[in-house]
Structure 1
Amino acid sequence: MMPRITKIKLALAVATLALSGHTAVAQSEKPGVEKLYIMNCGEGVAGDIGRWSPGVNEGQSMDFVDTCYLIKHSQGWFLWDTGIPDAVAAMPNGLAPADPKAVTWKRPKTLAAQLEQIGVKPADIKAMGVSHTHPDHIGNVEMFPQATLYVQKAEYDWPGANNEPRFKPSHPVELLTGDKDVFGDGSITVLSTPGHTPGHQSLLVKLPKTGAVVLSGDAVHFKSNWENRRVPVNNVSKDQSVASMQKIADTLDKEKGQLWINHDKAQRDSQKMSPEFYD
């Protein structure tokens, strides 16, 4: 017969082995971001980019892009910005602005079609955030009526045209008053970056292989504005805009991250677009 002390040692060894096995499984199923897809959410031409870079390139036109980001997190799908309304895809001449200096937008690919291409239904989106409430960023919010919307309270309360609310009152929403760790694991963090609008926000995403990325929203519109800290004329606060750009720069330094600029065509042309993804 096996001595009692030997039985105890054997039981302890088996328990230790089982525990280490569970640890290995847990480590192989780490929580966090798994994939990030870049979606084409609009293409357009600005009539005069001087409004975005005062005193520079006045009267010059410029190609713009509009970008959305779909993030697969271990706890569910998260969508950042929703772009130009999908309905614009049916407009052969695009969506012309009231101000000829602004952007005429077209929608070569719908958001719905790009989601379908990777097998994601609108109902699969668990949560979403918008950088701010300008029309080229909230055009398809109501395609996801079940998704919790993360938005700064200052933005949510900001009166729209004719004092209309900027979102349907029935849409589930989490109102923020600063930064927010969305899933509680540090992998997706909303950064409060006011200035372009009262409650503008950007997004810090930590990918396992790509590393840290900050999605700019409209805290900055293109690379030269970032490098020269230029503030568009139509921002609500120049001081807040400059402070927010510094906050993003500090975040990039701390996280050794890269900045992805929403409207910068040259940068987006160099990136992998959905159905390819970053991990």
Structure 2
Amino acid sequence: MMSRITLALAIAALALSARAASAQTGVEKLYILNCGEGVAGDISRWSPGVNEGKSMDFVDTCYLIKHSQGWFLWDTGIPDAVAGMPNGLVPADSKAVTWRRPKTLAAQLEQIGVKPVDVKAMGVSHTHPDHIGNVEMFPQATLYVQKAEYDWPGANNEPRFKPSHPVELLAGDKDVFGDGSITILSTPGHTPGHQSLMVRLPKTGVVVLSGDAAHFRDNYDNRRVPTMNVSKDQSLASMQKIADVVSKEKGQLWINHDKAQRDTQKMSPEFYD
């Protein structure tokens, strides 16, 4: 009789242990980080034929995700060095964005007790400077990037990342941790290998991080494609792909540069779970 009781208790303990382990898998928290603030000189650059000569505030956003297998960072924003520039990062094109860095990425990580070395993996939506400004702050982190983006020649045909940086080259969507909680979505068009991110949070539900598949809500809603995008057809297809994912998952779309939306969100050190 005692052996049967002992066996039953052991089985019950194993079941509880399995449930506890299951509860600890996947995404635990998502922090929204301020990775730059700026003013666009003329937003018709992003919405051809509309808003000619109209200026607009932009934001630049990074996302730090706590997964049971380690920290994952999405986009790295404007370089932290811009925080020390009194006039900000002024573009040659007056229609583009003058960027400032009111908070450094390093300081925001420190505020929540995360060191750069703690970040084990990272991804960038694409290789424009306002998204890769601090990639080399994390030389040990595996960088997930589409091969089409990695191979896209930079200025003067220079590589877009240091050759020594550990990289996993992708050719489409990628389930980063194999549990469906963080999925990179291939969304080309803005650049050859642009990508977005789907995050499955335990309480908040599914969130899709746009990258620059759309720069602000009006462009997304009206399917407007910026003149600087490499492919209008791919851009439209990618916006539709995002719309399909959001619809299927009953999720939210968070648009990277949209200040009106970000003003409604919880910023680090607060988080979404």
Instruction: Please give the range of the TM-score, normalised by the shorter of the 2 chains.
Output: over 0.9
Q: Provide the C-alpha distance between the structure 1 equivalents of 2:157 and 2:225, rounded to a whole number of angstroms.
A: 26
Which stretch has the larger CA shift, 263-272 or 12-21? 12-21
From 172, 193, 200, the equivalent of 1:199 is 193
Partner of 1:133: helix, strand, or coil? coil
Match of 1:96 in 2: 90
Partner of 1:77: helix, strand, or coil? strand
Shift of 1:22: 2.2
From 260, 267, 271, the equivalent of 1:266 is 260
Shift of 1:11: 4.2
Shift of 1:24: 3.6
Q: Provide the C-alpha distance between the structure 2 equivalents of 1:13 and 1:38, rounded to a whole number of angstroms.
A: 46
Shift of 1:26: 2.4
Match of 1:251 in 2: 245
Q: How many pairs were matched up?
A: 273
Alignment of 1:217-236 (within 5 A): 217-236=211-230
Q: Provide the C-alpha distance between the structure 2 equivalents of 1:60 and 1:202, rounded to a whole number of angstroms.
A: 27
Q: Provide the C-alpha distance between the structure 2 equivalents of 1:206 and 1:86, rounded to a whole number of angstroms.
A: 29
From 37, 40, 49, the equivalent of 1:46 is 40
Q: Which runs of 5+ in 2 are unaligned?
A: none
Report the identity percentage.
Answer: 84
Q: Provide the C-alpha distance between the structure 1 equivalents of 2:63 and 2:248, rounded to a whole number of angstroms.
A: 23
Shift of 1:8: 5.1
Give yes or no for the alignment of 1:141 onto 2:132.
Answer: no
Alignment of 1:7-22 (within 5 A): 7=2, 9-22=4-17
RMSD between aligned residues: 1.0
Q: Provide the C-alpha distance between the structure 1 equivalents of 2:7 and 2:106, rounded to a whole number of angstroms.
A: 55
Q: Which amino acid aligns with 1:145?
A: P
> What TM-score, normalized by structure 2, do the two folds share?
0.98
Shift of 1:254: 1.0
From 147, 157, 165, the equivalent of 1:171 is 165
Deviations 1:27-60 (A, max 9, x none): 4x43000000000000001111001001110111
Match of 1:237 in 2: 231
**Structure 1 stretches of 4+ moved >6 Å:** none
Q: Which runs of 5+ in 1 are unaligned?
A: 1-5
Q: Provide the C-alpha distance between the structure 1 equivalents of 2:41 and 2:20, rounded to a whole number of angstroms.
A: 55
Q: Which amino acid aligns with 1:262?
A: N
Q: Provide the C-alpha distance between the structure 1 equivalents of 2:184 and 2:26, rounded to a whole number of angstroms.
A: 15
> What TM-score, normalized by structure 1, do the two folds share?
0.96
Q: Which amino acid aligns with 2:254?
A: W
